[in-house]
Amino acid sequence: MAKFGDIAEGLVYLHQRNVIHRDLKPANVLICIDNRLKLADFGISKIMHEDDLNRTIVGTPLYMAPEVARGKDYDYKSDVWALGIIFYELCMLEHPFVDRFGKRRNQKFSVPQLDCKRLGYSSALQGLCDMMIQKDPTKRWTLESILTKFRILEIVS
């Protein structure tokens, strides 16, 4: 679980430089020789300008935030959603929208509200997961808040 912090720190680095990744998924996370994780594939990343709103539907559907899939305005919090899906996968060793045979659970891209209680971890860790995968982007935490809570949980455990 410690490697999750590397991914979150990489996103914080991007967001502080006004870059939204837009295709965060495990295949775009590389393991370096020093065993640190680094983000990769910035082909559809975008530099955000003040008051910029995006509506372009880009990214990998299984990691795409609900607002992106619906063609609604989105911002950095769409990366937070993808980070939450990766976090869920790290905890459960399976994708929340794919069955054990590799098929999508919902043929249409309708996103159910995920229940992180299913993770079987502490309520604090479940809460962290919940804050990343809120369907409503206004209810999703910022990366800074997520990383702070994660670091506190690392120290406590």
pLDDT band at residue 38 under the 50/70/90 scheme: very high
Q: Please write the tens of the pLDDT for every residue from 126-149.
A: 889 999 999 999 999 999 999 999
Q: Which amino acid is at 27?
A: A
pLDDT at position 104 is 61
CA angle at 145 for the pair 144 and 147, rounded to the nearest 5°: 65
Q: Is 31 exposed, middle or buried (0-12, 13-18, 19+ CB in 10 A)?
A: exposed
Set out the domains of the chain in order of their start, with CATH numbers.
Answer: 3-156 (1.10.510.10)
Q: How far apart are CA 72 and CA 54, in angstroms?
A: 8
pLDDT at position 30, please?
96
Residue 150: φ, ψ to 5°: -60, -45
pLDDT at 54: 82
17-31, 52-66, 92-106: range with lowest mean pLDDT = 92-106
Tell me the residue type at 91: C
Tell me whether residue 23 is one of the annotated catalytic residues: yes
Choice among 6, 23, 41, 51 that is catalytic: 23
Give the separation between CA 29 and CA 116, rounded to whole angstroms: 23
What percentage of the chain has pLDDT greater than the value 90? Answer: 57
Torsion from C-alpha of 34, 42, 89, 11, nearest 10 degrees: 70
pLDDT digits (tens, 9 = 90+) for 58-91: 999 999 999 999 999 999 999 999 999 999 998 8
C-alpha of 101 from chain center:
23
Q: Distance from first CA to last CA of the chain, Å, rounded?
A: 11
As given in the structure block, the two tokens for residue 138 are: 């206004």
pTM for this entry: 0.89
